[in-house]
Amino acid sequence: MSPKSKQQFEGIREEKKALIMDTALSLFANLGYHATTINNIAKHAGISKGLLYNYFTGKEELLTEIIEKSVFELYKSFDINRDGYLSEDEFEFFVRRMSRILYEKQTFWRLFFQVLMQSEVREQFLNTFLGTESLFKSTKEYKEGSFISNIMKVITDYFVRKKITRGDDYDPWLEMNMFILTIKGFAITYVFMDPDKDDQEYFAKTVEHIISIYK
């Protein structure tokens, strides 16, 4: 048997890392983040505790990587050309792509939201990725140097620019907060719904309506 190449070893490593993260996410959702231990994760992943520590320093790093991976998947569809300017077409593409990602990976996102709803996880997410304990404050005060801060800067600019055409009565901060709350509510409802045809048609119409309101 020929020795494995560097690419093969890297592939095996990425598969093992994905297994650990998927296992941790499931346990965080079902047992709770606080109650889940590294021993639990290693046992359910079918690996030794020592091997798990070759990939992650602990469950805090595991949670951080799970959240980062999840948010980055959405970020890849945001401001496609990375010029710091979100056009109306790019905004529409992002909303459509986001709904598609939620549909294609419904089980994953269902677990993710269950984990994010836990108070200790939500607090870690806000502080680590947004640099604030308030989702509303995060629209004006966000942690510098992360792709989430880039999202917040670009989307803030998107809504502020609209004031030029919408007039003095237009409040870009209020509109942006309403958009964030709308997207959050839509996403949570979407991933927890029963997958029947009528619901799919209804949510497709909802996507169109969100675009028509905020584009």
3-state secondary structure the chain: CCCCCHHHHHHHHHHHHHHHHHHHHHHHHHHCCCCCCHHHHHHHHCCCHHHHCCCCCCHHHHHHHHHHHHHHHHHCCCCCCCCCCCCHHHHHHHHHHHHHHHHHCHHHHHHHHHHHCCHHHHHHHHHHHHCCCCCCHHHCCCCCCCHHHHHHHHHHHHHHHHHHHHCCCCCHHHHHHHHHHHHHHHHHHHHHCCCCHHHHHHHHHHHHHHHHHHC
pLDDT at 141 over 90: no
- Spatial contact of 207 and 96, defined as CB atoms under 8 Å apart: yes
pLDDT at 46 over 50: yes
Q: Which of 50-54, 124-128, 202-206 has the lowest mean pLDDT?
A: 124-128
Q: Which residues of 162-195 are buried (b: 16+ CB within 10 A; e: fewer)?
A: beeeeeeeeebeebbbebbebbeebbbebbeeee
The reported pLDDT for the residue numbered 209 is 95
**Most confidently modeled of 31-35, 76-80, 190-194?**
31-35
Average pLDDT on 113-137 reads: 70
- Spatial contact of 27 and 36, defined as CB atoms under 8 Å apart: yes
Question: What average pLDDT is seen over the chain?
Answer: 84
Residue with tokens 């836990």: 118
Contacts of 15 (CB under 8 A, 6+ apart): none
Q: What is the pLDDT of residues 162-191, one digit of tens each?
A: 999 888 899 999 999 999 999 989 998 888
pLDDT at 161 over 50: yes
- Spatial contact of 156 and 139, defined as CB atoms under 8 Å apart: yes
The reported pLDDT for the residue numbered 178 is 94
The reported pLDDT for the residue numbered 197 is 57
The reported pLDDT for the residue numbered 135 is 45
Q: Position 199: which residue type? A: D
Return d(Cα 37, Cα 27) in angstroms, integer: 9
Return d(Cα 127, Cα 134) in angstroms, integer: 9
pLDDT at 152 over 90: no
Q: Which residue has the higher pLDDT, 199 or 45?
A: 45
The reported pLDDT for the residue numbered 168 is 86
Return d(Cα 192, Cα 186) in angstroms, integer: 10
- Report which of 53, 106, 85 is spatially closest to residue 154, judged by C-alpha positions: 85
pLDDT at 8 over 80: no
Average pLDDT on 65-77 reads: 85
